Each structure stands twice: as C-alpha cells, then as structure tokens.
Structure 1
Amino acid sequence: MTTAPLLETEAVRVPVLSADEAIAAATELAADLAATSVDRDRDRILPAEELDRLSSSGLLAITVPAEHGGADLPTEVLVEVFRILASGDPSVAQVPHSHFVYVNAMRHQGTPAQQRFFFGEVLAGRRFGNAQSEVGTQHMRDIRTSLTPAGQGSWTLRGTKGYSTGALFADWIPVLARKDTLAAPGTGPLHVAWVERHAPGVRVTDDWNGMGQRTTASGTVELVDVDVPDDRVTPYHLTFQGPQTYGAFAQVLHAALDVGIARAALRDAAEFVRTSSRPYPDAGVERAADDPLVVQALGRMEVDVRASEALLREAGRTVDAADDDLTAGTAAAASLAVAAVRAHSAEVAVDVSSRLFEVCGTRSALDSLNLHRHWRNARTHTLHDPAAWKVQHLGRHVVDGTPPPNHGQL
C-alpha cells in the first residue's frame, strides 16, 4: 500500500485566539468540565464531546507558529490554560498534552513542507495523540519500535506502545521509533513517524485501567506493518544534540496538571466545609467553617497551592526566556525551573487532595461523593516522572553547579 503524499489543508476552521481569549475560553470550558467531572470519573465516560469542544474552541492551535497562521502564544500562556483546564477535569486536560508536545516537535524538526501540512491540520481542528512509551522494556527511554526500509521512499513501522494518552481520540498519532537499517535492526536513531489514527495496521485499544486519570484512555497502540512514506517521518534524536527546551516544555505542562488538581481539591474542600461539614463539639462554633483548626488547615493548604502556582508561572516564563535566547545556560535554567515546580507540585497535589478529608470530616469519604477522585488523580499523574530525580538535579546544581541532563524528561 502507498500512502498519499502530504497535501496542504484547504482552510482554517478554528479561531486564532489572543492570550486573553485563550484564558477566557479555558476558564469557560473548565467550569463546564468541573460540573460533570464527578460522573465522568465514576462511570468512566470517555470525554469525546468535551475534546471536540476543546478542538473547536481554538485552544489546541494556540502554539502554531505565526508564520503558519497561528496564534504563536508563549509557553507561559499555554501553562495557564493547562492549569485552568486541569482544575475542571485533569483527565480531559491530560489528553492534549502530547498534542502540544508534538506540535512543538514539528516546530523544531519538521521540514517546511511538513510544517505547512501538519500545522494546517492543527488549524483545521485536528488532534495529535502519541505512541511513545513502551511496556516491558528496560527503562522509559528504551525504545524498540522500528522503522525499516520498504523501498521507494517508504518505511515499515512495527511495534507496540503503552500509556498512549490521546491516541484513541487523535487524528494523527506521532510514533517514536528507531529508523533502522536492514543490517542493524534495533540500533537506529530515534525518529517520529506520523501515522493516521485509522491507517491500515494501526490498532488503538482502550485498555487503560488506572485508579486515577481514568478517562484519559491511555491505552495500547499496536503497529503492524504500517506503511509510512518518508515525508511523514521527522528526526527526534537531533533535538538533543544541542541546547533545547523540548523536555522542559513537556514537563511544565505536566506540572500544570498537578497544580490544577491541587487547586480543584482545595476548592472542593472549602465548598464542602461551607455547605456540608458539621463542626466538632470542642470548637464551640456553629459552623465547621468557623472552626479555627479547619480554617488553619485550609490556610496552610492555600499557601502550598499558591506556592506551586507561583513556581509554575516562573517556570513558564523561564522556558519562554530560553526559547528567546537559547544557550546551554538558558536551557539549563529552564530545566531547573521546571524541575522545581514538578517536585513541589507533585508533593502539594498529593498532600492537598489527601488533607481534603481531614478538614471535611467523615462524610467526605463517602464513595457516592467521589471526592477521592482528586487524590486518585494526583497520585496517578504524579507517578509520570519520579519527583525525587527533579530534586536530585536541583541539589547537584546547588552543590557544585552541575547542569541538568539534556534529555526529554527535564
């Protein structure tokens, strides 16, 4: 089978948003997501309609470069959009994480023709998923999916991917694979193969069964002899041959998800205390909201969440500053700023979503209320990358100025 060559998308169909418009759109959507997130999580209702609304809003196109007709909004704005969406429903917010990461990959490694086509796809409301991680390999950067030569400018893609967030809902699935030679399989440099979601040989299985982030559909992608023409392959390995913010960009979006979860947990805790909690008799008050111990606990939680939000804003600005003047030093500063918020937000998201029950009391543990979804979401998402390694890299830099490693997880 021969796949059709890339043709430019005919028309732009989603709005091109300013920064203020993007924040407003995210805020409106997050409010609606919050109103229905309990049911989606409890019944595992996949958010197809919500993602279609996200696409049509123009929010998924806000990082398309200006020269290709996009809004070209900075990372600082995108991070705030992610935080807001995650405060409404972090599962819905996580689905487009890889979409933005691979828009960024196309920006840095795509040819002009590839950029025209794929950015046109994004501006037409189409979504990118991901097929990156693999299950059962030695570690997360051990990639065995392969692109082998098929002749006449074509490649054959084979492999199995896990944790493929966004793939089920995608129009295009960027697949991380080794571009091998017939003589040396499994040793080639890493590339991204851009395959259509419903292309022959592509099978996406909704087998994600995590305790949290339940509706991300982060399942399995099987790739059986998928035909990939050369103009749908972009280099990945070249990204890390010099200073880069690719890893910091991806990681700061994960931090935004954690911060959004923490804010949502605190918001719901305060609402429950105001409306549903009974005061402890020793407090001598008529409302739980007037119990000084409850107020103190909520105040401490607010301090922690605000600290994460501040670190998040700083990290977004630092990534933007590095992109404006990319050197080894500015790239390291971006990675360290992101490492700080990743470490802090992971701890805060888990702590606040757990302390929710402490301030709300026994009734808050009822399964029917589903307040435990905040903790389940936080505990699940914060496992994405070990926070302890973020602290290690920060500590080594503090001790003797050691720069962070130059890879995609930092």
Structure 2
Amino acid sequence: MSTIEIARLDAETAPLVARRLADELALGDGARDRDRALPHDQVRSYAAAGLGALTVPLEFGGPALPAATVAEVFRLVSWGDPNVGQVPHSHFVFLNQLRLNGTREQQQRIYSEVRAGALVANAQSEFGTRHGRDIRTTLTPAREEGEWLLNGEKFYCTGSLFADYLAVLARREADGPLTVAWVRTETPGVEIIDDWDAVGQRTTGSGTVRLADVSVAEEWVTPFAVTFEKPTTYGAFAQLLHAAIDAGIARRALDEASEFVCTKSRPYADAVALAGVEAAVQDPLVVHAFGEMELAVRSAEALLAEAARRVDEADADLTAESAAEASLAVAAARASTAKVSVDVSSRLLEVSGTRAALAATNLDRHWRNARTHTLHDPAAWKVQHLGRWAVDGTPPPRHGQI
C-alpha cells in the first residue's frame, strides 16, 4: 500500500479497516493457536492496510490519529486474534518514544519507513535481573568515533519475529542513562530466537533476542530516561493499548459463548423439567449469566473509552494534573479489562457446558490468551494507585506501566 493511501485513514475509516481485518483474522485464529502457526501473513496485512502508521505525525505525512482511535483499532483487531493485536503494541509505544525524544532526522527516517509498512518490536525486559525495569544491556564506545557496540540478551520481545526494527532498551556504559538503540533486525550480531512457549498468546513472537557486538551509530540512539522527567502520557498510552487488547478478548469470548450455546449446547435436565425450556439458550440461569457477562464487558468497554478520552485530553493540554488523571483513568480501565477478560473467558465454558471443554473446540484459548496477557503487569498495582489517589491525592508514579 502506498503512503498516500495510508494517510487517508482517519478516525472513521481506521476502525472500519480494523474491523474487516478482524473478521478475516477470526476465521483462523483457533487453528493458528492450536498449531502455533506464526501469523506472518496476517501481520503483513496489518501493516499493508496502513494500521501501523496511525500515529505518524502530520508533518511526516501521517494521519496523527488520537489515542481513542488507536485503542479502538487494537480492541477490534484483538477481537479477531489477540496475538496479532499484541504484535504491534511496542511498535506504537516506541513510535511515541520517537515522537517525544527523537531528533527530527531520526523521526523523518523511521516515520517514512513506517509509512511504507515497516514494523518496530521491543527488546526491553531481561531475565535474571532484580525486576522488570532493571536493565543490564549496554552500549559501549566502539573504536570508530560516533559508533557504539550493543551487547545483551532480552526476553518477552513481542513482535520481534515479524519486525523490521528492534527498539532496544540499553544503558550507555554499565551504569549510564537508559537509551533506545534502533536496530534493524538483519544487522550482524542480532539473533532473534523463536522460543516463546507460553500457554496463551502463543504466536506473538515474544521470545529471546541476543545482541553481540551489534554496531549502532550515534544517530540511531535516542534518550529514554528523560521521558519521565516531566508530565507525560507515555505510560498511559502504552497501558491503554494493553487494556484494549483485553477488551477485545473479552468481547470475543462472550460472542463465542453466545454462538456455542445457541447452536450446540443442550439444556440441563432440571431446566427442562422445572422451567419448561426446550433449548439451553432458554434456561433462565444461562440467560442471567449472559446478562452478567454483557454487563461486565460493557462496563470495561466504557472505562476503556473514558480512559482513551482522558489520554487525548491530556495530550492536548499536558500538565501534571492532566497526565495524572489520564494515568488513573487508564489504570481503572486496565484493572477492569484484565479482570473481565479472564472472568468472561472462564465463564464461556461454564455457560456452554462440558462439550465446550473438548479439545477440538479450542475455546479455552480465550482464557489462555487473557490469563497470559493480563500477567504483563499486575492489575493489583493499578488498584493500589487508584486507592492512593482516592485516600490522600497521591499522584501515580511516572513510568511506562501506568
């Protein structure tokens, strides 16, 4: 797809494109999960449709669409296949990082490639460190002036198997400030390993990246530590997209439950004898359960929409107060969508009956996907920050998880 076509996407057309893609994804997501068939073609379709360029600024030829539109695209695509929905998460997060901290030359270079369909994946987290934000990967000076050598090993590198670029979180020297090294995936010294074997989100390509004396020019390094020195929606935007993925999983699980009960489930014997029903879908207990699930999903979707609105409002008038409000609204949405996606995908089996638990249905994938994705960062800490705000007005911290 040409860059002109990509630029035509707007707040109305982008969700329509996402919905069409989601319908296509839904035709094969169960088989891809069962066989762990990596969605290379599906990710290419995502990029070719221009969905990866939604946030490219106007001055660089993009549509600069708001967070609300991006979140809705994520929700829709994740309804079709949350694996494909999660693959571009870091792509958008680090394009935002580029917008905040990149030079004009860096922005021009990467945004132009994104408009042509390039995708970015993250290489952030590491095994064996004290916590998830403890980074040991380093950039050390090379012999040539203005060149660096990048060394380290990363895990949870979602999207790396499909990406053109890796955004690598690294320190200048062993104890220097955090930076982002933008590295093309075919660069010598980069090894991307397909070793992600989680119970859910099985095809996100979230495995290991090894970096051995990877040559990085200074013009491909952007600062990271400065991101949180002033009010920002960086973390809120990142978490908003995670919440949208969970919301998509929840809605799809509910839709699949409805389809199964209407077409395959048998009524319980007591429902036939005592309530006079002829089909499982007429069982008043089943109907009540669906009402509870619909209420939960609608509530989560409403919190997601409100959070997206708050992020856009903060971006339009960024202050310490507006950034905090955006983070808190996103925290509420994230906590809600995480719980609802796990609960509804579990109740799918409860309302559908024993037949739904057969391996051939693969309906358990919705719970596995929800349970795996919601482990990304603890929902309990979202609630904790909401509580601190409610009790004494303590604002949430500035980092990428809220």
- Give 3-state SS (helix, strand or coil) of 1:187's partner: coil
Task: Show the counterpart of 2:203.
Answer: 215
* Amino acid across the alignment from 1:310: A
For residue 254 of structure 1, what is the aligned residue in structure 2?
242
Q: 2:346 aligns with which of 346, 351, 354?
A: 354
Q: Which runs of 4+ in 1 moved over 6 A?
A: none
Of 99, 103, 106, 1:107 maps to: 99
Residue 215 of structure 2: aligned partner: 227
* 1:250-295 deviation digits (Å, cap 9, x = unpaired): 0010000111000010000000010000011221211111110000
2:323 is equivalent to residue 331 of structure 1 = yes
Q: Which residue of 2 aligns with 1:267?
A: 255
Query: Could you list the runs of 5+ residues in structure 1 that have no partner in the other structure?
Result: 1-10, 181-185
For 1:28 and 1:173, the matched residues in 2 are separated by 28
Coordinate RMSD, CA, aligned: 0.8
Q: Does the 8 Å CA contact 2:6/2:62 hold for their aligned counterparts? A: no
Aligned position for 1:341:
333
Letter aligned with residue 189 of structure 2: G
SS at match of 1:221: strand
Structure 1-normalised TM-score? 0.95
**Does residue 1:27 correspond to 2:19, yes or no?**
yes
Residue deviations 1:329-376, cap 9 Å, x none? 011001100100111111111100001111100100000100000000
Which SS does the other structure have where 2:370 is aligned? helix
1:12 aligned onto 2:3: yes
181, 184, 194: which one pairs with 1:206?
A: 194
What residue in structure 1 maps to residue 131 of structure 2? 139
- 2 CA distance for matches of 1:323 and 1:18? 18
Matched, 1:155 2:143: no
Q: CA deviation at 1:46?
A: 0.2
Aligned counterparts of 1:86 and 1:20: Cα–Cα separation in 2? 18
Q: Deviations over 1:63-117 (max 9, x none)?
A: 1001111010000000000000001000010000000011111111110001111
> Any idea what the Cα deviations from partners look like across 1:100-144, whole Å, max 9, x if unmatched?
011111111110001111100100111101101111110001000
Report how far residue 14 of structure 1 moved: 5.2
Paired residues, number: 395
Q: Distance in 2 between matches of 1:115 and 1:354?
A: 43
The CA deviation string for residues 184-225 of structure 1, in whole angstroms up to 9 with x for no partner, is xx2100000000101000000000000000000101000000
8 Å Cα contact 1:14-1:124 kept in structure 2: no
Cα distance in 2 for partners of 1:211, 1:116 equals: 39
Match of 1:388 among 371, 380, 383: 380
CA distance in 2, matches of 1:14, 1:407: 35
Residue type of the alignment partner of 2:315: D
Distance (whole Å) between structure 2 residues aligned to residue 12 and residue 86 of structure 1: 25
Structure-2 residue corresponding to 1:176: 169
Is this contact kept in 2: 1:13–1:124, CA < 8 A? no
Deviation at 1:408, TM superposition (A): 1.0
Per-residue CA deviations over 1:212-250 (Å, capped at 9, x if unaligned) read: 000001010000000000000000001010101100010
Measure how far apart 1:43 and its partner are.
0.3
2:295 and 2:110 mapped to 1: Cα distance? 42
SS at 1:144 equivalent: coil
Residue of structure 1 in register with 2:312 after alignment: 320
- CA–CA distance in structure 1, aligned partners of residues 3 and 279 of structure 2: 54
In structure 1, what is the equivalent of residue 357 of structure 2? 365
Among 274, 293, 297, the residue aligned to 1:301: 293
Are 1:408 and 2:400 matched, yes or no? Answer: yes
Distance in 1 separating the partners of 2:390 and 2:56:
36
SS of the counterpart of 1:208? coil
Q: Flag the 1:24–1:236 CA change in 2: closer, same or farther, 3 A.
A: same
Partner of 1:183: none
The Cα shift of 1:12 comes to: 3.0
Give the alignment's TM-score, normalised by structure 2. 0.97
User: Is residue 165 from structure 1 mapped to residue 165 from structure 2 by the alignment?
Assistant: no
Matches of 1:32 and 1:357, distance apart in 2:
24
Alignment-mate amino acid for residue 259 of structure 2: E
CA distance in 2, matches of 1:126, 1:94: 16
Amino acid at match of 1:152: E
Asked if 1 retains the 8 angstrom alpha-carbon contact of 2:78 and 2:249, the reply is: yes
Q: Does 1:398 align with 2:386?
A: no
Which residue identity lines up with residue 24 of structure 1 in the other structure? L
Q: Which amino acid in 2 is paired with 1:375?
A: W
